[in-house]
Structure 1
Amino acid sequence: MNKPMKLTLTEELPTGKDWVYECKYDGFRGVLSCNKDSITLMSRTGKDLTNRFPEILSWWSYYKKVLQSETPFLLDGEIIISTTAFRTNFEALQQRGRMKNKETIQQAAHTRPATFMAFDLLERKGKDLRHSPLSKRKEELHQLLSSNPGCVQATPVYNSLDDLTELVVSHLAEGIVAKHKNSTYEDGKRNHSWFKWKYWRTVKGAVTAFTPSNGYYELSLYEDGNPIPLGQVKHGFNQEQTSTLQDFFKKHGHTTGHQYQLPPSVCLAVNCLHAKDTELREPMFNAFRFDLTPEDCNSRLKQWDLSNMPEELTFTNLDKPFWEMSDLTKQDLLVYLRMMAPLLLPHLDKKKLTIIRFPDGIHGESFFQKHYPDHSPDVLTRWTEGGESFMICDNWRGVLWLGNQGTIEFHIPFNTVNEEDPNEIVIDLDPASEDDFQDAVFAANWFKHAFDDLNVTSFVKTSGGKGIQIHVPLPSGALRYKETRALTESLSHLLVKQDKERFTTERLKKKRAGRLYIDYVQHAVDKTIIAPYSPRGREHATVACPLFWEEVNESLHPSQFTITTVPHRVATHGCPWAQYEYSRQHQDLSNLLSLVRH
């Protein structure tokens, strides 16, 4: 197998009508060869990865009847495990690459499947396309994979660098690739037709050791005067910087074995793609930071640095306690919102937003706000209706600006501003207390089975409080509010009839007698529900967290999902609602419609 074509690293991507752009995913470069009866997945170095990724074998088993007439074809692309549409989990992919046990690999493929993002088509029907212009190869690639929603997909192409940059920055993705439309494919070569730009995070640490044999400098953070390893850096220094730093080590440091060690004094800024524990991903020296002391370089600064907050916004009072019992501050809220904005924003899109602000944390005064704030910078959208100005939050900077204003909770209606009909059904299951949470688990599964019987796809999340909420995405204009009310009311009463001792639709809390309240009334015009992934203004900083249906069991508890656990959970397991929009567009409502329109 010939080696894949290479990319040239640049700090400034070319622009103009002759260039197209695509996301640079952080994964394994791979070449996928599809023949009539088999497929082979090879790494860029020629290692056979086919058996490491059985989900791609399963894809071929499912689609080969559709694609067999196109064989043999050869795809160049990136193997990734995605966290959002653009951000990937490279560490999880590395773990997959090291797995050798067949059962372990199969389990990982089921719970955290990888995706092959194809960005080039080198052969089709046995014909070599390498000498065809990129634009032609891209056109044929998208024709080939156009109807495929599975784990082999064509990488989206953008004509606007600005549009893609906004997406990459908002998702905290790896970077951008620029390719000349007329470029041919040159195996194993690097030229000026393909460029890559990396979206660096810049972290700071005190340099504490130098190993002459490999040229690596070790960096540390400091917490309460104690060093915490940050990572190593070798590349990015010019000759003068290298000489200066090495001379400083020899003059002020001491040797331990084959290593120079230095009392903390000099701080460096280092570019990287991310930092995990004691390892920096692709570290590159950025600058000496003589304005910082080693004590300035702590874990909270690292947390902030890795978030790449927008420079055009001003953030204040970052150390203000917001959840005192959990020792969480306003900075923790903002970092959570920065990480999760790509998954929160699709649910806020084109919807009038109601927020709950806690300017002094959850133990201070709080208040609702639904009107457009007059002092807002240009990060929110104003929507005027009935002489009132409402706010729509449709970008990550708006989420962060609201967070800086003390916004913890984001509540949304059930329809967009340009439609009168709901674009989702939501049923709120509210148990009498947190101790009765298993009643909500039972009811949630009951509703899932009811929707399954109707051949309708449903999704589930915690409320962030003591309850569970069921969401059913709806295509545009599919149902009227009166029809969704008829459905949810009928189903709710059916469950109550089944077990009147545990469930009720009684609105008055004093009459519920400890039973779980099935709130279908809340699903109505001008009513709102907590948005998926929104934090809650409650103790322990819980989150309204999307779940996998198999998690809704006796082990589930709402306290498991907080602003500190949810980002790691999504990076590790993926977003349970990743197919929410796909389900909306492909929802089969025929059985449901016959039920409500009989």
Structure 2
Amino acid sequence: MKPMLPSLTFDLPVRPDWQYEVKFDGFRAMLTWNSKGIEIISRNGKDLLPQFPEIKEFLLRYELLFKTYLPLKMDGELVYLENTHKANFSAIQVRGRLKSEKKISEQATRSPCRLMVFDLLMLKGKKFSTEPFFKRKEALKELFLTIGFELESDPYNNQLLQFVKAHDDFNELWEKVVLYDGEGIIAKFKNSFWEEGKRTLQWLKYKNWKYVSCFITSYEKTNGYFYIGVYQDKKIYTIGQVLFGFKPEEKDALKQTIKQNMIKEDDKFIYVEPAICLEVKYLELYDYQLREPHFDRFRFDLEPADCTFDRFMFAQKNLPQDLEITHPDKPLWEGLAIQKADYILYLREISPYMLPFLKDRLLTVIRYPHGMFGEAFYQKNCPDYAPEFVHTKESEGIHYILCNNLKTLVWLGNQLAIEFHIPFQTVYSKGPSEIVFDLDPPSKDAFPLAIKAALLIKEVLDQLNLIGFIKTSGNKGLQIYLPLPENVYSYDDTRLFTSFIAEYLISKAPDSFTIERMKKNRGNRLYVDYVQHSEGKTIVAPYSMRGNEHGGVATPLYWEEVNDRLKPVSFNMENALKRIRSQGDPFMDYFQTKQLQAFTPVLEFLKNSSKKG
């Protein structure tokens, strides 16, 4: 059965009565489950189960639940899911080429792939392809819910059959696709029917292109391809070839120019010195070659020397196009090999995990205009020269920046804002959005005190059925978060709890903890600052860097990591990203937890106790 295929569009596919799905990049796969068993067939008719046995093994665990819905047929994409909006094309290609059963089995266990299902073609033997798209989607969603499957795509969920949502708002989904560096969007007409083997205009693919400035090195006479390259260490580095995207007159003019300026010719190619610069859009790099390159425009404003490998690698991270990054090679730390470009790319990569915590919060940053080599300063007021896309909110005469999108985050990075500090509430909150305990020991050597305090607090949270999240401060301490529902509690309410915890810690270990505000009277004890959690105070945001000598990052942790082996200096820019890729984001469920937090019974108990006291 040949799949229905979308048509490529370069125009925004925003139309009435259309819906939008994330386009995941993998192997198109048709799942059929009937009395003969399970099969998953590729677009070219290849049996995919020998290469991806984990999908069948997963489905068979739910055989009894699926039994009443057989025979069924689903259309989807078999992927290596990197994040909620992106599949890793290179990883699925490598996996698809494995021959050894042992290696396939190892990969299936260690790094399982997922079948992202976006269409339902048969259910209980009833043909659904004649139903309009929105009805097929509703039936597919109902099937997932009945089986008890989650509807959110999630690379860390053990559910290997995942549902691809249809969204009504293109712009909202597109913002997420860009943020997570996904491949693009499939737009589908709500009333479209599923037509076997047809490339249709009722499904449109709109891709998240990246752009590279490059020059032409040769022309292939047999097929009309223009070979393109960039300079790497003053040598030409070929990055692929481009054929599509030219207007006929542009292509003819280009061929003529190449013929007139050739340096040599053979049976296959005409070669030229680097001179003609152009911009090419492409999907991603695969084996350091461009995938799906399309000509975008000539760059008469560039010299070939401007087209470098470093700029190519920087641009392929899909930073906002109209945002100039100044002095990308500026060193920022004395003892660390971190340039400004590295820092901005860190912000780009970490943005899906960091931005939710910055959203709608009055932002205070610490800027280091000369890196760690000069003076730093706090910035609360948005500077006059900030571009229009930087949104602000006035509070007590200060125009604070609201860092609600990738563009603003990257702009702040270009201003060398290294530390991001946020209040405990959003601009729409009437009270605290969370409780935070800042466990800051008197010195780096006293870090075990922070671990001791954190574990004691965790014991209390567990006994009270409260959900806490923990992160490093990026300096020498730890910070514990309790997410709260919005507009329910006041700071007076939360003060009852923070003071209760402080008193509990002191009662358990008076030689280790204190609430003494005078530094000279604390000795070597950890100061439990329960007063710090109040309106107007700030805390460093999750995943923010710190301006210290080891380039620390305020890194979310799993509770099982909080033990005597924990060392704060080991959490830095490089391994913050590695941690997410290898073990996920410990704060992933943070915002869903807000509605689950059983804080009211605890608060009522504390209020009653204080009255009796």
Q: TM-score, normalised by structure 2?
A: 0.81
Question: 1:298 and 2:300 equivalent?
Answer: no
- Stretch deviating more after TM superposition (162-171 or 3-12): 162-171
C-alpha distance in structure 1 between counterparts of 2:578 and 2:220, whole Å: 33
- 1:104 maps to a residue whose letter is E
Deviates more, 1:274-283 or 1:32-41: 32-41
Task: Identify the residue that residue 423 of structure 1 maps to in structure 2.
Answer: 433
RMSD of equivalent CA atoms: 4.1
Contact 2:51/2:95 (CA < 8 Å) preserved in 1?
Answer: no
1:585 to 558, 579, 595: 595
Change (3 A) 1:448 1:53: farther
Cα distance in 1 between the residues matched to 2:391 and 2:542: 20
Q: Deviation at 1:183?
A: 1.0
Q: Does 1:166 pair with 2:178?
A: no
Q: Which runs of 5+ in 2 are unaligned?
A: 151-156, 609-613
Deviates more, 1:12-21 or 1:66-75: 66-75
1:56, 1:579 → 2: CA distance?
Answer: 28
CA shift in 2, pair 1:584/1:297, >3 Å: same
What is the aligned partner in structure 1 of residue 153 from structure 2? none
**For the structure 1 residues 388 and 434, does the alpha-carbon distance in structure 2 shift closer, same or farther, using more than 3 Å as the test?**
closer
The 8 Å contact of residues 122 and 137 in structure 1, kept in 2 or not, is answered as: yes
Aligned: 1:200 with 2:209: yes
Q: Distance in 1 between matches of 2:70 and 2:603?
A: 42
Q: 1:8, CA displacement in angstroms?
A: 1.4
Give the Cα–Cα distance (whole angstroms) in 2 for the partners of residues 371 and 537 of structure 1. 20
Distance change in 2, residues 1:288/1:16 (3 Å)? closer
Question: Are the aligned partners of 1:8 and 1:192 in contact in 2 as well (CA < 8 Å)?
Answer: yes
Structure 1 stretch 306-315 or stretch 21-30: which is displaced more?
Answer: 306-315
Contact (CA 8 Å) 2:355, 2:405: kept in 1 or not?
A: yes
Matches within 5 A, 1:387-536: 389-536=399-546
Which residue matches 1:125?
124
1:308 alignment partner in structure 2: 318
Unaligned runs of 5+ in 1: none
Q: Hey, what's the Cα distance between the residues in 1 that align with 2:163 and 2:194?
A: 17
Aligned residue identity for 2:426: T
| 2:154 equivalent in structure 1 | none
Q: Give the TM-score normalised by structure 1.
A: 0.82
Superposition pairs for residues 106-505 of structure 1, below 5 Å? 107-109=109-111, 115-145=114-144, 148-149=149-150, 151=159, 152-205=161-214, 221-225=230-234, 231-233=239-241, 235-236=243-244, 240=252, 251-252=263-264, 269-275=279-285, 278-286=288-296, 292-293=302-303, 295-386=305-396, 389-505=399-515
How many angstroms apart in 2 are the aligned matches of 1:34 and 1:444?
Answer: 50
**Contact 1:233/1:285 (<8 A) preserved:** no
Alpha-carbon distance change, 97 to 437 in structure 1, aligned in 2, over 3 angstroms: farther
Distance (whole Å) between structure 2 residues aligned to residue 290 and residue 199 of structure 1: 25
Distance 2:296 2:406 in 1: 26
**Closer, same or farther in 2 for the Cα pair 1:133/1:473, shift >3 Å?**
same
1:575 pairs with one of 558, 565, 585: 585
How many pairs does the alignment contain?
590
What SS does structure 2 have at the residue aligned with 1:539?
coil
Equivalent residues of 1:461, 1:532 under 8 A apart: yes
How far, CA to CA, are the matches of 2:606 and 2:347 in structure 1? 39
Compare 321-330 and 422-431 and name the one that shifted more.
321-330
Matched-pair identity in %: 38
Counterparts of 1:313 and 1:565, CA distance in 2: 27
- Quote how far apart the aligned CAs of 1:185 are: 0.7
The whole-number CA distance in structure 2 between the counterparts of 1:18 and 1:554 is: 57
Secondary structure of the 1:337 match is: helix
Letter in 1 for 2:205: K
CA spacing shift, 1:313–1:204, aligned 2, 3 Å: closer
Using a 3 Å threshold, how does the CA distance of structure 1 residues 83 and 521 change in structure 2: closer, same or farther?
Answer: farther
Q: Which amino acid counterpart does residue 331 of structure 1 have in structure 2?
A: A
Task: Tell me if structure 2 keeps the 8 A contact 1:415–1:424.
Answer: yes
Distance 2:565 2:285 in 1: 32
CA 29–452 in structure 1, closer or farther in 2 if over 3 Å, else same:
farther
1:260-291 per-residue CA deviation (whole Å, 9 max, x = no partner) reads: 99876666644322236734344445566566
Q: Distance in 1 between matches of 2:398 and 2:301?
A: 49
Tell me the alpha carbon deviations over residues 81-111 of structure 1, each in whole angstroms, 9 at most, x when there is no partner: 55544234334444555675476346525xx
Q: Is the 8 A contact 1:83 1:575 kept in 2?
A: no
In 2, Cα distance between equivalents of 1:512 and 1:266: 69
Residue of structure 2 in register with 1:3 after alignment: 2
Give the secondary-structure state (helix, strand or coil) at the position aligned to 1:580. Answer: coil
Q: In the alignment, is the contact (CA less than 8 A) between 1:26 and 1:90 conserved in 2?
A: yes
Which one is further off, 197-206 or 208-217? 208-217
Which whole-Å CA distance do the structure 2 matches of 1:579 and 1:249 have between them? 60
SS of the residue corresponding to residue 580 of structure 2 reads helix
My pick for the range that moved more, 343-352 or 44-53, is 44-53
Rg (Cα) greater in structure: 2
Could you tell me how far apart the structure 1 residues matched to 2:255 and 2:599 are?
Answer: 70
